[in-house]
Amino acid sequence: MSGRLSTRLSRLLNMVPYFLAHPGISAAEAADDLGVTTKQLMSDLNQLWMCGLPGYGPGDLIDLSFSEESIEVTFSAGMDRPLRLTSTEATALLVALRSLADLPGMVDPSAAHSAGAKIESAIAGVPAHAPAAPVARVEAPAVTAVRSALAGNRALRLVYYSASRDVVSERVVDPIRIVLVDNNSYLQAWCRQAEGVRLFRLDRIEEAVELPEPARPPSHATDEAAALDLFSGDSAVPLARLRIHPDYAWVLDQYPMQRIAAYPDGSVEATMRFATLDWMARLLLGFGSGVTVSGPPELVSAVRERSSAALEAYRALADTDLARPAIEEVGPA
């Protein structure tokens, strides 16, 4: 979850008890107390108005009477009472907390483990004042630096391993947020070297140093929907055109491909953006005859050349084996 979304969620959760304690307060006063603009507050109230308990009928949703002059909660849907979890709900929450703690950068692992320990204590009936077992902090220093830079709005110097190019590079970035893509957490940032938004997988950041200068990503780069795709739909990134055999249709689910046509024999034509020619050629060779490339020309040539080199290597190996003298095995006399 991004920092902006988590902040809004916390604000929404606190709004019901806040307005119950301040009935009839004006939007301007409430916005000032909550640290938001009046426009943002009214947007939050419209969102809150559609929240409530499962069932989500008129008697389950939070009900509000609000305008810029006066705001009042007319039905709290239980938000004014202490939370009581069933054993099933508590178990689900514990599993979610542990999953988050295992994903680099998504949350402070110490905070997640501490919350989990408190829930476990409550389930087991341990008094709330009982000391919790100490929790070891296992977060990588680079991930800690990334979270700190995001919280302080600071630029970062990264040493990063790129799996697609098999190289380690150093670059300065302006952090935007942490996102979750295919069960991996990434730092979304404006890369000053590439002059574009990039995703950096947190477990591949070898070193991160928080710089004393503020992060200044361009305004268009900070949009929530920006750059959640690994290649951002950037037209400058090469686009491969592929013909996929019916037996290899699974690759459409495993790789970021866009299907553009289907044929009577069951094969599918698709496109896929790639970072480097060498990486894409190696990927396609791994599919054998299951995936055929038709463009761009330089990728077709790279695949053809690598295929020819591989066949030649096999022929040379076969010739070597044939040239070896046969060894006659003689059994016991």
Give 207's pLDDT tier (boundaries 50, 70, 90): very high
Q: Is the pLDDT of residue 142 over 70?
A: yes
- Lowest-confidence range among 17-21, 199-203, 211-215, 326-330? 326-330
Percent of the chain, pLDDT > 70? 79
Instruction: Indicate the pTM of the whole model.
Output: 0.48
Give 58's pLDDT tier (boundaries 50, 70, 90): low
Percent of the chain, pLDDT > 90? 21
Reduce the secondary structure of the chain to three states and give it as a string: CCHHHHHHHHHHHHHHHHHHHCCCECHHHHHHHHCCCHHHHHHHHHHHCCCECCCCCCCCECEEEECCCCEEEEECCCCCCCCCCCHHHHHHHHHHHHHHHHCCCCCCHHHHHHHHHHHHHHHHCCCCCCCCCCCCCCCCHHHHHHHHHHHHCEEEEEEEEECCCCEEEEEEEEEEEEEEECCEEEEEEEECCCCEEEEEEHHHEEEEEEEEEECCCCHHHHCCCCCCCCCCCCCCCCEEEEEECHHHCCHHHHCCEEEEEECCCCCEEEEEECCCHHHHHHHHHHCHHHEEEEECHHHHHHHHHHHHHHHHHHHHHHHHHHHCCCCCCCCCC
- Lowest-confidence range among 30-34, 60-64, 265-269? 60-64
- Could you report the per-residue pLDDT of 232-247, keeping only the tens digit for each? 445 556 889 999 999 9
Q: Is the pLDDT of residue 82 over 70?
A: no
Domains of the chain: 3-75 (1.10.10.10), 141-222 (2.30.30), 239-320 (no CATH)
- Could you report the per-residue pLDDT of 294-303, keeping only the tens digit for each? 989 999 999 9
Q: Is the pLDDT of residue 194 over 90?
A: no
Q: Is the pLDDT of residue 77 over 80?
A: no
Give 135's pLDDT tier (boundaries 50, 70, 90): very low
Give 223's pLDDT tier (boundaries 50, 70, 90): low
